[in-house]
Structure 1
């Protein structure tokens, strides 16, 4: 049995959805209330300012993103660089398709973090944790320096995801590109 999300979690998930579907200018308390299906004033009861909303949203986003990575690394155990490339390509594809709104919110939070020190710390801490997950995979496929390799590969993936969001190329061979990137670092 799964726990029902708290009212605060519902509001933060709605805020993530607003950011990912309407952009940072539309991220208002009123828009969050509407997206959550809650009465006007609900979001401002929990988050008095937009800064408070952004900081709490970053923490909720991190919670959700780390759960995804923990599940993924528990389910997928690549044994070769080619298998790792296939798993990473599937992740990129999901990020730009099924999880598109969440992914756009992620990049929106990156921009917000540049202006909000608390959100910056939250996202930076999460990035370190995600690199730890990824380094496990790289260690398993024989990378000499899995931590550095993971950071560089994730940077490449971020670029691929951003490009596929901004100007999608349906012919892009993600597996081939990521195989090239993974093999460069293993």
Structure 2
């Protein structure tokens, strides 16, 4: 059961994903969380404090989601890993679309507000370690480089799909191609 503070921050993540950064206010967070007016302001005195806490909560949730994925997704070859990553993208763009939009909203805000970068960078580094470990387990040539290439490709693909939705037919094939590339390419 999430704490009251976590409930507020999760509601704020929902607002970011459904309505964008401009809609993130203490009042909107209170309403979305179903809590009395002033609840968010009791924890986060300013909008900046709220945003910093949202970034930290998002990063914690992101790391936890990937820990869960790592516990259950154990591909034995590159094709199975490509299938798993394709399923992740489809989920991120489907049932988890709100969280995915919030993620990129926070990334863009971190681009202009350096104080928001550290928790997101820490989370991204943990995800890259997971990806490199999976790539190492399935026997690819350069797991760290390939993990960076695959995750960057998926980030770009998801961002593009959020802005300009279209067919997702070639994800798995394109991910497999990244695994197959020679490390010197």
**Structure 1 contact 85–178 (Cα < 8 Å) conserved:** yes
* Contact 2:78–2:140 (8 Å) recurs in 1: no
One of 32, 35, 40 as aligned partner of 1:35:
32
What is aligned with 1:79? 76
| Residue equivalent to 2:128 | 131
1:144 aligned onto 2:141: yes
Residue aligning to 1:56: 53
Unaligned runs of 5+ in 2: none
Cα pair distance change 1:19/1:8, threshold 3 Å: same
Alpha-carbon distance in 2 for matches of 1:46, 1:158: 32
Contact 2:146–2:178 (CA<8 Å) still a contact in 1?
A: no
| Structure 1 length-normalised TM | 0.93
Aligned match for 2:153, one of 139, 152, 156? 156
Q: Which one is further off, 108-117 or 95-104?
A: 108-117
For 1:117-128, what aligned pairs fall within 5 Å after superposition? 117-128=114-125
Distance across 2 between alignment mates of 1:58 and 1:36: 17
Q: Distance in 2 between matches of 1:156 and 1:35?
A: 33
Gaps of at least 5 residues in structure 1 are: none
Aligned length: 183
**Structure 2: distance between partners of 1:185 and 1:100:** 33
Contact persistence 1:19–1:105 (CA under 8 A)? yes
RMSD over equivalenced CA pairs, Å: 1.4
Equivalence map 1:145-184=2 (5 Å): 145-170=142-167, 172-184=169-181
CA contact (8 A) 1:79 1:141 kept: yes
Maintained 8 Å contact 1:149/1:185: no
SS of the aligned residue for 2:112 comes to coil
The CA distance in 1 between the partners of 2:168 and 2:127, in whole Å, is: 28
Runs ≥4 residues deviating over 4 A: none
